[in-house]
A and B are shown apart, each in its own frame.
Chain A
């Protein structure tokens, strides 16, 4: 499991109040307990601050699962690095 995945899962856990261990790469956001579009924005802000990246909002909302978000973060980091 990549370092980025662990950190993303931690942030998803914080936003949803779910234990980070229970969050897998194929977990779909719309299937997470307590998931709303407001939580999606909270997660976006958290991710962007934590990784010092900036995501395209339309691409971000098209992401379906945690694995997709990890890929987007890794790619954004690659661009800025």
Chain B
């Protein structure tokens, strides 16, 4: 029995002097049995994080209006499965109002990065009510109070807050005998849930999880009346698990750890049958089962592509036949333009996926690989443990659910650049091929006609900049990106400068690829952080941008430019940059460069466009 073995494996880690088990977090994803998950979570709370391999730390607080003792252990297992080592603070029963309003509550002292607010119906429902109108006005009042508590808390703490829609107990619904009355009650309740979801749209730091929508798919009773009356437990452990699973997806999105690439197999994944054997007209794809199940898979893959996920193919096939099917088959939804890179040949798939990562210049830890074959999924799981593997076994109609269930691609928001990402990566792959025909890199770069456009961050570019700050692991100068609130503050302040920049060349425009956070002082300007997408790395773009800042600082009367750098273990690409641009180190994590006389930093193959420059005072 797998669950028993897993629990024994975890128990061994709780013993003194235990040997590290870095493979455990990924294996936890296979545990599904809720009682076993609960026990696993309780045991894992005692396991030192350093025994579990490389994980990203996160401080999560759980507060609520009821007792949800299972959420913390279940959340711990779900987060570890996603490569996150949580420190979890759990508040006592019904501490929500105190936690959110008091400056010295234990929760405030814990200083969470993410605060999960667990809500249950009776916190909103009035004790006595005679008609739907009275019910609605009382519920509205409670919501207003909750909304105020959350606003005040986010303003004060800087923590992100996750709220959720609240299911209404059937006891409440059946308490009303008139169908009309139930309809009015249901409507008032949905208004509350709509308002809860609306909080995410009104506050930058507040996010919402539509729990009611996920519960539709779960074979779970909302609550056990005995445990509700005895211990104020408003959710069964199955509901706690649904919540923990989705909340963990949120935390991963919050940390900018969403997966970026979906690598798809073809035969029996994107269509039924084997195209090499059955021929292009013999594959199963179209309006009838099972062809429609494969078509649904294609539709969902394209839907991901439209939201910024990069699609790639990895299939053992003849490239020419695949090409023919992709361009000519009338029933296909996915087309060549949807696909950023292909590895269609007879090489081993782990080798090919490594190649795709090189071609797209993205880390393997941002890859998801979906395949129907046990052989291929096992091979990739064993050989590339960083890659998330989705095994599409069983009925093809269930494949989409299997792919979506992990929430691998969940992000906090999508931007215009996300929607164009495939085109950007495709152009990049073409550029790599073009490079082969030049004798020197400089010749090649000169021929690209690179234009760098710099402008101050505004309402439109700011969300993209904040997202870049969070997602960028390689070319960044710090492990703690500026949060949205701070970025807004800096952008609005005369003593700071927040820049975004775009890059275009003869192959197309890349959109916003980076940004800089600068604080202006009399004698010097300080670059607090500088992030750039690795898509445009090694082209002199970063040098061009720093030249611009140096010029601006000098014009404003500063004598030198300073820059902060903190090594994170993953930003080696950025570590070389300041020394390379002529900066010299001064003390721990600080570089300096005189700007009088003007230094020459930018290369001769780029041109700079400054948009809407305002005077620096």
Contacts and interface: CB of A to CB of B under 8 A. Distances in A.
A41 B230 CA distance: 10
Interface string A25-63: 000000000000010011001100110000001000000
B12 to A, nearest CB: 13
Interface size class, chain B: 10 to 19
A42 to B, nearest CB: 8
Contacts of B34: 49
B231 A41 contact: yes
Nearest to B69: A38
A49 B226 contact: no
A46 B35 contact: yes
A57 B237 contact: no
Interface string B223-239: 00011001101000100
A42 B231 CA distance: 12
A14 interface: yes
A57 B230 contact: yes
Nearest to B36: A14
Nearest to A54: B226
Contacts of B237: 45
A18 B69 CA distance: 21
18 contacts: A14-B7, A14-B39, A38-B69, A41-B69, A41-B227, A41-B230, A41-B231, A41-B233, A42-B38, A45-B35, A45-B227, A45-B237, A46-B35, A49-B34, A49-B35, A50-B35, A57-B226, A57-B230
Contacts of A14: 7, 39
A46 B42 CA distance: 14
Given A41-B69, A45-B237, A49-B34, 13 more contacts: A14-B7, A14-B39, A41-B227, A41-B230, A41-B231, A41-B233, A42-B38, A45-B35, A45-B227, A46-B35, A49-B35, A57-B226, A57-B230
Interface string B26-65: 0000000011001100000000000000000000000000
Interface in B214-262: 226-227, 230-231, 233, 237
Interface of A: 14, 38, 41-42, 45-46, 49-50, 57
Nearest to B226: A57
Interface of B: 7, 34-35, 38-39, 69, 226-227, 230-231, 233, 237
Interface SS of A by simple majority = helix
A41 B227 CA distance: 8
A46 B33 CA distance: 12
B333 to A, nearest CB: 42
A46 B3 CA distance: 14
Contacts of A38: 69
Contacts of B226: 57
Contacts of B230: 41, 57
B171 to A, nearest CB: 17
A37 to B, nearest CB: 8
Nearest to A15: B39
Sorted nearest first, the 7 A-B pairs with minimum C-beta distance are: A57-B226, A46-B35, A49-B35, A57-B230, A14-B39, A41-B231, A45-B237
A23 B231 CA distance: 27
Nearest to B229: A57
A49 B236 CA distance: 12
A38 B38 CA distance: 13
Contacts of B7: 14
A57 B228 CA distance: 12
A57 B226 CA distance: 7
A57 B69 CA distance: 18
A46 B37 CA distance: 12
Contacts of B227: 41, 45
A2 to B, nearest CB: 21
Contacts of A50: 35
A21 to B, nearest CB: 15
B379 to A, nearest CB: 36
B42 to A, nearest CB: 9
A57 B227 CA distance: 9
Contacts of A46: 35
Nearest to B46: A17
A38 B155 CA distance: 35
Contacts of B233: 41
B401 to A, nearest CB: 24
A44 to B, nearest CB: 8
Contacts of A49: 34-35
A35 B69 CA distance: 16
A41 B233 CA distance: 11
Nearest to B236: A45
A76 to B, nearest CB: 14
A49 B598 CA distance: 74
A38 B227 CA distance: 11
Contacts of A45: 35, 227, 237
Nearest to B11: A17
Contacts of A57: 226, 230
Nearest to A49: B35
Contacts of B69: 38, 41
A76 B227 CA distance: 19
A17 to B, nearest CB: 8
A14 B33 CA distance: 15
